[in-house]
Structure 1
Amino acid sequence: MNTPARTSGHPKGLYVLFATEMWERFNYYGMRAILVLFMTQALLFNDKFASNLYGSYIGLIYLSPLLGGYVADRFWGNKRSILVGGLVMAAGELILFACGSLYHSSPDLSTFLFFTGLGFMIAGNGFFKPNISSLVGQLYPDNDTRKDAAYTIFYMGINTGGMLGPIACGFVGNTGDPADFKWAFLVGAIAMVISVIVQKIYHNKYVRNPQGQILGETPGTGAPTVDPVTGEKHLTVPPPPKAMLNPVTIVLGMLCFSGVMVAAMYLDTTVNYLFYLLGGSFLFIIFYILSDKNLSKEEKQRIWVMVIIAFFVVFFWGAYEQTGASLTFFADRQTDKHITASYEMPTAYFQSFNSAFIIIFAPIFAIIWQVLGKKQPATPTKMGIGLILVALGYWWIAHGVDNVTKPVSMIWLTGMYLLHTWGELCLSPIGLSLFNKLSPIRFASLLMAVWFLGNAGGNKLAGVLSGLYPDGGKTTSFLGYQISNLHEFFMLFVFMAGAAGVILLLLSKKLQKMMHGIQ
């Protein structure tokens, strides 16, 4: 049997997954960089509507993998799900390209195409995103010391795409002429097609487990296990019904799922139900898990730690994800983007800063934690520090805009993104790892859903809070807090993220005890 080829100590399959994911993230972050600009400058949505729609879109992006992961595990397998999801996302970008081509001549049709394109993007993401990440660890034997390095390499692929996407899409689309936004969507579609081609050509050849078997095949079609006593062969997962693998069924299923996502997004812009759905789902899952009488006291306490962490994650992403919403407005309207007297940097370029900083600082943070060893802060403490760093980022930019009436230097946004990147490195990968460690095996998937629900809730909150952006001299308020200028707007996130960070730091020792030795 063939064994996976290796390059520099790692299977070549890792680099296939690296390239596939890099081009998909190029597409996603490139499109996100110009999304609210397209909504406000081409489709002429007001800031509040565009912000809320952005929050609904990103929130659903985090929810859709729950269905995509389930379908892959039970019916399609990772390989087919990645291919289908990638093609649906490419179709979504082409629909948005059509929207960008028709917005001036056919505004009603253009709006319909816009919601449809976003629905396709959400549905495709749900099948692409969770399935490619799950393949990385399967390339290696259990307890292989290369796994951590493999995920670091894969993480670099994500951020390489996240850095290059906004630059490329900003270069062709964010030119100052709203008619050019369509080219950014076309570039995103091309990137998505490249991602699918890489996966289609190289997956079977290189994406294999240590025994040489192709990863991500249809459930129930892999090598059977052999009973050591009787010698009987058994499939570990029963094969799916043939109808589930029929191309017509797959196409109709994805069209229906995309349609549901379009309806979910549109409905949220009118009745704002998504917060209640996320909150209700969160409480239902927790009640369902904790009602299991087979859980030990230690397991229940660890689950409560995850519930508390997921709650604080909402405040982190609610502040952090202003990147694609209010901070894009700020970069576009209140930031001096001139590099030279004759060249003004496109607004979209700012969204590449975070990924560039991650590429620079992720290895440094990994070295810091390694050097500190057992002296490093506990995970809840790290996450509290992450929230504090996000608050400091907003304090920095709030100071930069205080009593200023003209566009400010790029140094304020740049410094804020640097602090936010440090905060992300203290919270996001750390929290995901913690959920994997604390989850009882029988509830691992459901508790990972709790993590994603926290992320989704934070992104929806980001859209709602972005709608408070005080542009044009308007005054807004949030829970009695009056916002009449940019300084007061940014201080809202200082108070929110800072208070959450301080409370989490105060709870850290209690949470450590409830984790019962898991760090």
Structure 2
Amino acid sequence: MSTTTTTTTKQGHPPGLYLLFATEMWERFSYYGMRAIFVLYLTQALLLDKNVATDDYYGSYTGLVYLTPLIGGYVSDRYWGNRRSILVGGLIMALGQLLMFISASFYQNFSVSHNVMLLGLLALIVGNGFFKPNISTMVGQLYPEGDSRRDSAYTIFYMGINLGAFFSPIICGFLGDTGNPADFRWGFLAACAGMVVSIITFELLKNKYLITPEGGAIGGTPEKVAQIEDNTPKRSISENIGWAIGALVLAVAFFYGANIDLIGSFIFSLSIIAPLYIILDKSLNREEKERISVIYIAAFFVIAFWAAFEQAGTSLTFFADEQTDRVVFGKEIPASAFNSINAIFIVLLAPIISIIWVQLAKKGLEPASPAKQAFGLLFLSIGYLVIAFGVKDLNPNVKVSIMWLTSLYFLHTIGELCLSPISLSMVNKLAPPRFAALLMGVWFLSTAAANKLSGTLGALYPDEKLIAAGKIPSIFGFQITNLYEFFMVFVVFAGVASLCLFLLSFRMKKMMHGRG
């Protein structure tokens, strides 16, 4: 490498980062725009009960969305490469959003609308599986091994995610969440347009900007991975069949033994089997296994974070719709628009949090990645504690100030910045190259389990009509009869997880072998 090239790479980030930034921004516009109006569409257009909409539909959909990256990562690592996987995934997701538009166009015919919606959700789930793990992996591939800019790169990339998440609920909510069920289709169509822009941006510029520091293309067919695998032990067909049977048996056990629904049983089964399948691979040495173990331990606790955080799409949207005074300067803000608050804070706070980590690093005080994740859980718990006191003894007919929900999102955003971009960078640094996209898929698998759990927990949201009918939600024998009790569930849930992860972080730091 020439001196000029080295100096350039040290001074700033490669242009490819900003292409991935833009591609992910428009894909996230599509995802979060659809998510912002999804439960409202289910309850206001298709007239489903809240508990059915949150658990059976929202929880299952968002859970499966983060499950399929495991499959997409496997296909990419071994056959397609990142570029082809992103293109195929993007096209399928665009089709999915188009089907959601068609579904909403026929909302008065429940049978037609419902069936088309299921096809749309399926397309979104499959497409995301190919798109999500590969674009996240490509960020790290832009930098040489050990480059200190990688954490910063993921923070910039994460800002792209949240820039899309900021304006998509506003636009899709403005178009779809109007009070007229017929208008939901326009919100879904806007989400479709965002996905199309993402694909076009990536395809037009990928060959020019997605290159290594040496100038070689990244994200192509994984020839190097194939060469590595030629020199390492391979699993036989019978072994792979055995693992598949194990996953099926475990899913059946969840379904019948733990009374978990079919989709949840499938997600939780793979959340156990897939990590074991990777870490027991014979090609891994001791150090690689310890580094992968850190990913798994962190993923387990991060489930608690996302299960509570993702209430933004269900219970917190219901809270914004029913219990929050949304009138600002004489105009009522759509409930779906509240999904943008977190993204606003991300864009504002990300540079500040990044500077804090840099300053702490200069003084030798920067926490290891697992400790940062523990702080993320702590801020999440505090956010729910604040709103729990805001709604204590609240009459169901009284609406609270918009500041309570804003304060919750502010604290949750700090927690997210302590956890999410750090996690993406951590997985990229700790994963052996031949398992890079697959382990990113495993990381998103923990998010799948969290989202499914989020739907289950969201179904605990106290509905006055159901409570009056004697259908009182409960967890571990504890009945949820009001909003204070509901939010305190998340205070305890996230708080305990934070403490446990912090205590484990010291041992995990040693297992990272200097890569944290």
Query: Which whole-Å deviations, capped at 9, do the CAs of 1:263-284 have from their partners, x for residues lacking one?
Result: xxxx99x961333333332333
Query: Counterpart in 2 of 1:180?
Result: 183
Query: Counterpart in 2 of 1:384?
Result: 374
User: Does the residue aligned with 1:63 lie in a helix, a strand or coil?
Assistant: coil
1: CA distance between counterparts of 2:417 and 2:497?
A: 17
Over 3 Å counting, the alpha-carbon distance change for 1:82 and 1:165 in structure 2 is same
User: Does the residue aligned with 2:454 lie in a helix, a strand or coil?
Assistant: helix
2: CA distance between counterparts of 1:14 and 1:275?
A: 35
CA deviation after TM superposition for structure 1 residue 365, in Å: 1.1
Query: Which whole-Å deviations, capped at 9, do the CAs of 1:286-335 have from their partners, x for residues lacking one?
Result: 44455567766665555444333222111111111101011111111111
Query: Counterpart in 2 of 1:67?
Result: 71
Query: Counterpart in 2 of 1:231?
Result: none
Query: Counterpart in 1 of 2:300?
Result: 311
Please say if 1:457 is aligned against 2:457: no
Q: How many residues align?
A: 474
1: CA distance between counterparts of 2:26 and 2:166?
A: 11
Residues 369-518 of structure 1 aligned to structure 2 (within 5 Å): 369-373=357-361, 374-405=364-395, 406-439=398-431, 447-473=439-465, 474=467, 475-515=472-512, 518=515
2: CA distance between counterparts of 1:307 and 1:141?
A: 25
8 Å Cα contact 1:25/1:162 also seen in 2: yes
Pick one of 67, 84, 98 that aligns with 1:80.
Answer: 84
8 Å Cα contact 1:389/1:419 also seen in 2: yes
1: CA distance between counterparts of 2:285 and 2:138?
A: 31
8 Å Cα contact 2:165/2:343 also seen in 1: yes
User: Does the residue aligned with 2:479 lie in a helix, a strand or coil?
Assistant: strand
Identity %: 53
8 Å Cα contact 2:309/2:380 also seen in 1: yes
Query: Which whole-Å deviations, capped at 9, do the CAs of 1:19-57 have from their partners, x for residues lacking one?
Result: 222111111111111110101100111111111111111
Moved more, 392-401 or 80-89: 80-89
2: CA distance between counterparts of 1:386 and 1:295?
A: 31
CA deviation after TM superposition for structure 1 residue 198, in Å: 1.6
User: Does the residue aligned with 2:67 lie in a helix, a strand or coil?
Assistant: helix
TM (normalized to structure 1)? 0.83
8 Å Cα contact 2:142/2:210 also seen in 1: yes
1: CA distance between counterparts of 2:279 and 2:202?
A: 40
8 Å Cα contact 1:397/1:413 also seen in 2: yes
Query: Counterpart in 1 of 2:245?
Result: none
8 Å Cα contact 2:62/2:448 also seen in 1: yes
CA deviation after TM superposition for structure 1 residue 179, in Å: 1.1
TM (normalized to structure 2)? 0.84
CA deviation after TM superposition for structure 1 residue 89, in Å: 1.1
User: Does the residue aligned with 2:474 lie in a helix, a strand or coil?
Assistant: strand
| RMSD value, Cα | 3.0
8 Å Cα contact 1:102/1:109 also seen in 2: yes
CA deviation after TM superposition for structure 1 residue 134, in Å: 2.5
Query: Which whole-Å deviations, capped at 9, do the CAs of 1:176-220 have from their partners, x for residues lacking one?
Result: 111111100011111111112222222233333344444333455
Over 3 Å counting, the alpha-carbon distance change for 1:27 and 1:439 in structure 2 is closer
CA deviation after TM superposition for structure 1 residue 444, in Å: 5.1
Moved more, 75-84 or 116-125: 75-84
8 Å Cα contact 1:394/1:491 also seen in 2: yes
Over 3 Å counting, the alpha-carbon distance change for 1:209 and 1:173 in structure 2 is same
Over 3 Å counting, the alpha-carbon distance change for 1:74 and 1:166 in structure 2 is same
Query: Counterpart in 1 of 2:251?
Result: none
Query: Counterpart in 2 of 1:158?
Result: 161
Letter of the 1:325 partner, please give it: T
2: CA distance between counterparts of 1:395 and 1:181?
A: 33
